[in-house]
Structure 1
Amino acid sequence: MRAAFVSRSEWGATAPTKGWTWLNPKRVQGIVIHHSGVENGPTGAEAVRAFERHHMVARGWSSIAYNWLIDVDGTVYEGRRSGAVGGATKNWNFKTEAVSYIGDGNQPLSLEAQQGFRTVIDELQHKYGGGLWVKGHKDLASTSCPGLWLYGWVMGGAHFEAPPGGHAPSVDWGDVTTYLRAVGANFDSHPLKRRMRGNEVRLVQSMLKQHNCDPGPADGIFGWKTKGAVKQFQRNRGFLKVNGAVNKATWDALFFM
């Protein structure tokens, strides 16, 4: 099954105010996922035109910022065109293509919307020869975009698996909790701290953002800004030792309290 496609001319795109710059295919590293963050907002071509007005009129950009947009019903809208340098991911526009969900990524996506994302991701992987990473905007900037559900789906591999009946597969949160508690159990003897790297650091950075403590990009690198965000979180909680390192108590407070 492939998603429906709507070209720029079909949704009534405005011509860019200046010519696009084109990506060097050899430099393209990945795909960045965004969302509007608007629940029950406009959909379809109306929403895409609203994005365009905001980007061109309010922000003063030359065109809509995203290369692709996915509607809540799974329809794929052509944005700035594949291969054009986008405007949605500062410092990464020359190395990525940007795909935005028209709806709120904090809410579960329909199977059709999941399929829309899978279609675009697969097409881009094919176009650039495979090997592209797929990340949320929050991995590259201080933001909560693309929302909790969509980010988790992307980090889980963006797998599209619909069981009989057409319902989205459920997440076994018991298994997730067991995994997170097992990871945190090691941190009393070996806490996460500055200069460390890895997926555990990325998880901490993502959760700090949810607690309104800014660690910078969720890049898996425990730097000074991440340490400062950990200390802020520890101070806010009141019962944690404020030292900027993540031991079991801080880990548990981030994920389970």
Structure 2
Amino acid sequence: MTAIDIISRATWGAKPWDGKPASIALSQRREFFVHYDGGHHVTRTGYAIMRAIEAQHLGQGWSGVGYNFVVDQAGNVYEGRGWGLQGAHCPDHNISGIGVQIAIGGDQEPSAAALAACRALYEEACRRAGRTLAKKGHKDGFATACPGTKLYAWVKAGMPAGDYKPAPDPGGSLPSGGADVARYKVTINGLEYGYGAYGDHVTRVGRELVKRGFGRHYTSGPGPRWTDADTLNYQEFQKSLGYTGKAADGIPGEASLKELLGSLPSKVTAKPKPPFPGRDKFGPGKSNGHVTTLGQQLVRKGYGKHYTQGPGPRWSDSDRKNVREFQLAHRELAGDADGLPGPLTWKILFS
């Protein structure tokens, strides 16, 4: 893992804090606690994990997600309380410790991606705190089975992560082959390119570079996050076109990007949200396109686990169960979690 991409609370859809936790200076952090989810395996990845944790912690009377960060099996890192807020993960250690949950449970094996992401997060925590933080499992601060035998053994072994290398400081420059790698972004047709840019358009650039024979700096495939590897590969492509100096620093210009892709991509305007079609379109015996639209959005939001053959157009008990889980995960809907969408359920689902 060469960089930490932390998915913000706003991105995964966190609710406003129910009484914002106290702010904590990073200089007070001295420990890094690893947690797991509990006794059962966790099969989901993505935003649904965070919404489920949030609903659970709000149900316990907490302000929201109690961990500072959560890491799923795909290696995604999600913001909970972040770097600057007091956690609720380990009594007597919520100020001195940063709490990170790896979203597995029981005897489940943590993935290499999850371990690498957690180790990268640890290195970043040490850098921000200005000291080496003690590596600990939850049970080191409070009598519990957490983080389970496998994660705890990993922590006690020093948190190894294969060929993991600490991420470079995004604020500086990374020397490579005696030269500094350019780290800035440009915007072309509403899309960002350069270090830290993110999106399918970044992946497309990387794939085209590989097709042209300019992919030697990739170690795990191109995109969707623009890294130093993209810059170095793009720089070689620019030089092949005869560019020199600043024009060949690895950051796209309109001319070179058009030469690579054939045309300049532009930012796609988001589709308008569909209006609520009415309660009479849902429930037993109903069959229409609105049921399909509902089911597809539930899947996108991470609430499609009860489908066995895909959503819609005929209403089924799978639709009801998925809608009910979505309602229970949102406090403003949980009081009437009947599994039938009303205007508020629809509005929140498509927000």
Short-chain TM bin? 0.5 to 0.7
Following the alignment from structure 1 to structure 2, what is the Cα–Cα distance between the partners of residues 84 and 117?
19
Q: Contact between 2:73 and 2:102, CA under 8 Å: does it hold in 1?
A: yes
Structure 2, unpaired ranges of 5+: 165-219, 221-351
Following the alignment from structure 1 to structure 2, what is the Cα–Cα distance between the partners of residues 149 and 98?
18
Following the alignment from structure 1 to structure 2, what is the Cα–Cα distance between the partners of residues 105 and 161?
23
Q: Taking structure 1 as reference, are residues 26 and 40 closer, same or farther at Cα in structure 2, changes over 3 Å only?
A: closer
Structure 1, unpaired ranges of 5+: 167-257
Q: Contact between 2:27 and 2:130, CA under 8 Å: does it hold in 1?
A: no
Match for residue 146 of structure 2? Answer: 145
Match for residue 68 of structure 2? Answer: 67
Q: Contact between 2:34 and 2:137, CA under 8 Å: does it hold in 1?
A: yes
Match for residue 120 of structure 1? Answer: 121
Q: Deviations over 1:84-130 (max 9, x none)?
A: 10011111111111100111263322111111101110110000012
- 1:111 maps to amino acid: A
TM-score, normalised relative to structure 2: 0.44
SS of aligned partner of 2:136: strand
Following the alignment from structure 1 to structure 2, what is the Cα–Cα distance between the partners of residues 110 and 137?
19
Following the alignment from structure 1 to structure 2, what is the Cα–Cα distance between the partners of residues 25 and 7?
19
Following the alignment from structure 1 to structure 2, what is the Cα–Cα distance between the partners of residues 105 and 127?
32
The 5 Å alignment of 1:146-165 reads: 146-162=147-163
Q: Contact between 2:6 and 2:79, CA under 8 Å: does it hold in 1?
A: yes
Following the alignment from structure 1 to structure 2, what is the Cα–Cα distance between the partners of residues 101 and 2?
18
Residue 41 of structure 1 and its aligned partner are, at CA, apart by 3.5
The 5 Å alignment of 1:26-175 reads: 26-37=27-38, 38-56=40-58, 58-104=59-105, 106-162=107-163
Following the alignment from structure 1 to structure 2, what is the Cα–Cα distance between the partners of residues 25 and 48?
24
Following the alignment from structure 2 to structure 1, what is the Cα–Cα distance between the partners of residues 109 and 4?
18
Q: Contact between 2:32 and 2:136, CA under 8 Å: does it hold in 1?
A: yes
Residue 4 of structure 1 and its aligned partner are, at CA, apart by 4.0
Q: Taking structure 1 as reference, are residues 92 and 82 closer, same or farther at Cα in structure 2, changes over 3 Å only?
A: same
Residue 161 of structure 1 and its aligned partner are, at CA, apart by 1.6
TM-score, normalised relative to structure 1: 0.60
Q: How many residues are matched?
A: 163
Match for residue 296 of structure 2? Answer: none
Following the alignment from structure 2 to structure 1, what is the Cα–Cα distance between the partners of residues 20 and 9?
15
Q: Deviations over 1:8-58 (max 9, x none)?
A: 1110001101122111333321111111023143322101100000101x2
Q: Contact between 1:3 and 1:115, CA under 8 Å: does it hold in 2?
A: no
Q: Contact between 2:32 and 2:133, CA under 8 Å: does it hold in 1?
A: yes
Q: Contact between 2:75 and 2:117, CA under 8 Å: does it hold in 1?
A: yes
Q: Taking structure 1 as reference, are residues 87 and 156 closer, same or farther at Cα in structure 2, changes over 3 Å only?
A: same
Following the alignment from structure 1 to structure 2, what is the Cα–Cα distance between the partners of residues 2 and 11?
19
Q: Deviations over 1:146-173 (max 9, x none)?
A: 011111111101111259xx9xxxxxxx
Q: Taking structure 1 as reference, are residues 126 and 120 closer, same or farther at Cα in structure 2, changes over 3 Å only?
A: same
Following the alignment from structure 1 to structure 2, what is the Cα–Cα distance between the partners of residues 123 and 105?
28
Residue 82 of structure 1 and its aligned partner are, at CA, apart by 1.2
Identity of aligned residues (%): 31
Q: Contact between 2:71 and 2:117, CA under 8 Å: does it hold in 1?
A: yes
The CA RMSD measured in Å over matched residues stands at 1.9
Match for residue 196 of structure 1? Answer: none
Q: Taking structure 1 as reference, are residues 126 and 105 closer, same or farther at Cα in structure 2, changes over 3 Å only?
A: farther
